[in-house]
Amino acid sequence: MFRGENSAFASKDYVSEEATQPSVAFVGSSLSFSDQIIRIANIEFEGVAFKRYDTIADFRASNAAQGNLIAVIVEEALAGQLGDLLEMFQELEATCQVVLGYRDAKLAVSVFQKLSGQGDQCEVSYLPMGLQFDIWLSVLRLLLCGGKFIPVEMVADMSGGPEDSLRIAHADAGLSEWTEREREVLALVSEGKPNKTIATELDLSEHTIKLHIHHVINKLGVRNRTEAAILFLGGGRAA
Main-chain phi, psi angles of 148, to 5 degrees:
-100, 145
Is the per-residue pLDDT at 168 higher than 60? no
Would you state the pLDDT for residue 114? Answer: 86
Would you state the pLDDT for residue 89? Answer: 84
State pLDDT tens for residues 68-103: 899 999 999 999 999 888 888 888 777 788 999 999
Is the per-residue pLDDT at 141 higher than 80? yes
Predicted confidence band at 158 (pLDDT cuts at 50, 70, 90)? low
Domains, in order of start, for the chain: 5-156 (3.40.50.2300), 164-234 (1.10.10.10)
Q: Provide the edge-to-edge strand list for the sheet that holds 124-128.
A: 49-53, 23-27, 69-75, 97-102, 124-128
Q: What is the pLDDT averaged over residues 154-182?
A: 56
Main-chain phi, psi angles of 126, to 5 degrees:
-130, 135
The closest alpha carbon to 234, from 184, 132, 130, 164, belongs to 164
Q: How far apart are the first and last CA of the chain?
A: 52
DSSP string, 137-157: HHHHHHHHTT-----HHHHHT
Would you state the pLDDT for residue 209? Answer: 92
State pLDDT tens for residues 102-131: 999 999 999 988 888 777 767 899 999 988
Query: What is the number of alpha carbons within 13 Å of residue 164 lying toward its C-beta?
Result: 15
Predicted confidence band at 176 (pLDDT cuts at 50, 70, 90)? low
H/E run at residue 124: strand 124-128
Is the per-residue pLDDT at 203 higher than 80? yes
* Alpha helices (H) along 145-239: 152-156, 164-173, 180-190, 195-202, 206-220, 225-234
- β-pairing, 97-102 vs 23-27, is unpaired
Q: What is the pLDDT averaged over residues 159-181?
A: 53
State pLDDT tens for residues 4-50: 444 444 444 444 445 678 999 999 999 999 999 999 999 999 899 99
State pLDDT tens for residues 218-228: 877 777 776 67
